[in-house]
Amino acid sequence: MLQYIQKGNYDAIELEGEWIILNTSDYTVTNLNEVGGYCWSLLNEAQTVASLARAIQGKYEWVSEESVDADLEQFLSDLKQCGLIRHAD
């Protein structure tokens, strides 16, 4: 199973339920909603889609089990494209 982890040590700020990830090396800013920020905080350790899905469903009761995996796949793909995460070794 593929595992994902944060690629570097980025500055992350939470403001009123929104997260801002600052990549000072590439001069980029990435905004995440509350659920995305929660996932980001979990990605300081290696995670699979399944482990992230379990954590999200445990914290947010309103998250649909049917859509969480597909949403996570897209979210992780987006973070990877932004250069914020990588596959864990």
pLDDT of residue 48: 96
* Alpha helices (runs of H) in 1-89, residue ranges in sequence order: 34-42, 49-59, 65-81
The yes-or-no verdict on residue 65 having pLDDT over 90 is: no
pLDDT band at 67 (very low <50, low <70, confident <90, very high): confident
The answer to whether residue 15 is domain-embedded is yes
CATH of the domain at 70: 3.90.930
Contact at 8 Å (CB) between 36 and 74? Answer: no
The verdict on residue 62 lying in a domain is yes
Tell me, yes or no, whether 25 lies in a domain.
Answer: yes
Beta bridge partners of 29: 22
- Residue 70 within any structural domain of the chain: yes
What total of structural domains would you count in the chain?
1
Domain that holds residue 51: 4-79
Q: Note the pLDDT tens digit of each residue in 14-52.
A: 998 899 999 888 888 999 999 999 999 999 999 999 999
Q: Which of 3, 4, 7, 34 is nearest to 18 (CA)?
A: 34
Query: Does the residue 51 lie in any domain?
Result: yes
* Domain annotation covers residue 84: no
Give the Cα separation of 73 and 18 in Å (integer).
20
Decide if 12 is inside a domain: yes
